[in-house]
Structures are given as structure tokens and as C-alpha cells.
């Protein structure tokens, strides 16, 4: 769900990373608190689509950012309909979709290095209580790198499963993905240890 940076010269591309992160947090909080009806979800959705247009992000790229959360939204919607009402389900899922879209827009218009530098600088004052900003930045960098890496593993395993005619077998998907993910984590840990990154 984390988009790769797409170079550009739009207003959103030129905006400082710190400002975008603050606005992202504020927008998600505001949507969660104030968006209460399907009509309001529609208005917010149109506004977010407008931001993608301002950033000149192709619609195919925008849709690709949202596709991975569709099944999760279907499950959440089913529970919300069961526990509350269809209107409430629409609002909850709409706010979640808008939040994911906004986060994707930030990553599509901001270099990862700029985001990590901003987070590292922001955590600087916490050194006094034992927080290591560089280590937190490294953790975020690894997390960002692992999202597409894990997605690639799932895609490769799914293709192999389909080639063997096991489309409906969850075991044939989950087990190889888990094994490959653990092996990748071990290899990454060994690489970090070889470069002097330890738990001291």
C-alpha cells in the first residue's frame, strides 16, 4: 500500500515532507471525527481525487494503491452492516479508504529519504530519554522496503500455486510465503549484523 515516489513538479511535490506528514495526520484525524454520513464521505473522496489530479498521478497508479485493501474493506463492511447499518458501514470503510489514499499520495509525492530525514529530525529531542532517532529511521526504512518485498513474495508464490492448479488452496499460499518471509528476514538480519547494526 506504500506507493513508490513519482517525480514531479506539482505543488504537492514541492511541499516539505514535514508539512505533508502533519497535514496527513490532521486530515485523517479530521475525517475520523467529522465525517459521519455517506454524503460527507463522497465530498471527501472527491477532494482526495482532486489532490491526486493536482499531483498529476495517473488514475491507474492511484487505483493500484487502493486495490490491496479491498478485501479488508469487504470484511469490515460485512461486520459493520451486521453490527450497525449499511450507512455506517459505508462511512467507516469510506474513511479508511480515504486515509489509505492520502497516505499513498504522500509517499507518491515525497522521496523516502526526505520522509526518513524528517522523522529522524523530529525525534531528535527524544535522545534525552534514550530514543535513538537513527535506529528508528532505520526501522522505518526497513519497513518501507519490506512492504514491496513481501508483496513480491506473495505474487510469486501465488503464480506458482496457480501453475500447479492449486488456486483454492490457502495452505499452498500461506506456508511458502511464511517460509520465504522468514528466510528473507534471517538474511536481512545477517546483513545488518555484518554491517555493525546490533542490539547494543
pLDDT for 41-79, tens place per residue?
A: 999 999 999 999 999 999 888 888 887 777 778 888 888
3-class secondary-structure state, position 128: helix
Same domain as 130, residue 93: no
Q: pLDDT value at position 68? A: 72
Structure-model confidence comparison of residues 131 and 97, the more confident one: 97
Domain count, the chain: 2
Same domain as 98, residue 17: yes
Q: Chain-wide mean pLDDT for the chain?
A: 82
Q: How far apart are the first and last CA of the chain?
A: 32
Same domain as 26, residue 102: yes
Same domain as 59, residue 29: yes
Rounded CA-CA distance 29/22 in Å is 11
Same domain as 102, residue 19: yes
How much is the pTM?
0.71
pLDDT band at 156 (very low <50, low <70, confident <90, very high): confident
Could you tell me if residue 2 is inside a domain?
Answer: no
Q: pLDDT value at position 1? A: 43
Could you tell me if residue 4 is inside a domain?
Answer: no
Residue 171: which domain range?
124-194
Q: pLDDT value at position 93? A: 93
Same domain as 105, residue 132: no
Same domain as 98, residue 164: no
Same domain as 97, residue 22: yes
Candidate from 7-16, 139-148, 172-181 with smallest mean pLDDT: 139-148
Rounded CA-CA distance 189/163 in Å is 32
Residue ending a domain, among 75, 110, 145, is: 110
Could you tell me if residue 147 is inside a domain?
Answer: yes
Could you tell me if residue 1 is inside a domain?
Answer: no
Which cell numbers in the block locate residue 38? 455517506
Residue 125 has pLDDT above 90, yes or no: no
Same domain as 99, residue 51: yes
Could you tell me if residue 89 is inside a domain?
Answer: yes
3-class secondary-structure state, position 33: helix
Residue 14 has pLDDT above 80, yes or no: yes
Instruction: Quote the distance between the C-alpha of residue 4 and its chain's center.
Output: 11
Same domain as 134, residue 91: no
Could you tell me if residue 3 is inside a domain?
Answer: no
87 burial level (CB within 10 Å; 0-12, 13-18, 19+): middle
Residue ending a domain, among 110, 134, 154, is: 110
Residue 26 has pLDDT above 70, yes or no: yes
Rounded CA-CA distance 152/148 in Å is 6
Rounded CA-CA distance 52/148 in Å is 21
Could you tell me if residue 151 is inside a domain?
Answer: yes
Same domain as 51, residue 20: yes
Same domain as 104, residue 48: yes
Structure-model confidence comparison of residues 191 and 66, the more confident one: 66
Residue ending a domain, among 50, 82, 110, is: 110
In percent, how much of the chain has pLDDT > 90? 32
Rounded CA-CA distance 187/32 in Å is 39
Rounded CA-CA distance 35/183 in Å is 43
Which cell numbers in the block locate residue 127? 535522545
Amino acid at each position: 500500500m506504500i506507493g513508490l515516489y513519482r517525480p514531479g513538479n506539482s505543488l504537492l511535490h514541492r511541499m516539505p515532507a514535514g508539512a505533508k506528514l502533519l497535514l496527513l495526520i490532521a486530515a485523517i484525524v479530521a475525517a475520523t471525527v467529522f465525517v459521519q454520513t455517506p454524503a460527507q464521505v463522497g465530498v471527501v473522496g472527491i477532494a482526495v481525487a482532486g489532490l491526486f489530479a493536482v499531483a498529476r498521478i495517473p488514475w491507474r497508479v492511484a487505483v493500484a494503491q487502493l486495490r490491496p485493501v479491498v478485501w479488508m474493506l469487504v470484511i469490515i463492511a460485512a461486520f459493520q452492516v451486521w453490527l450497525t447499518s449499511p450507512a455506517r458501514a459505508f462511512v467507516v470503510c469510506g474513511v479508511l479508504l480515504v486515509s489509505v489514499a492520502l497516505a499513498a499520495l504522500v509517499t507518491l509525492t515525497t522521496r523516502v529519504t526526505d520522509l526518513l530525514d524528517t522523522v529522524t529530525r523530529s525525534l531528535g529531542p527524544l535522545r534525552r530519554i534514550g530514543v535513538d532517532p537513527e535506529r528508528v529511521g532505520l526501522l522505518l526504512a526497513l519497513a518501507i522496503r519490506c512492504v514491496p518485498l513481501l508483496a513480491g513474495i506473495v505474487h510469486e508464490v501465488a503464480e506458482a500455486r496457480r501453475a500447479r492448479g492449486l488456486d483454492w488452496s490457502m495452505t499452498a499460499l500461506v506456508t511458502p510465503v511464511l517460509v520465504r518471509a522468514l528466510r528473507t528476514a534471517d538474511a536481512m538480519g545477517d546483513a545488518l549484523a555484518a554491517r555493525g547494526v546490533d542490539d547494543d
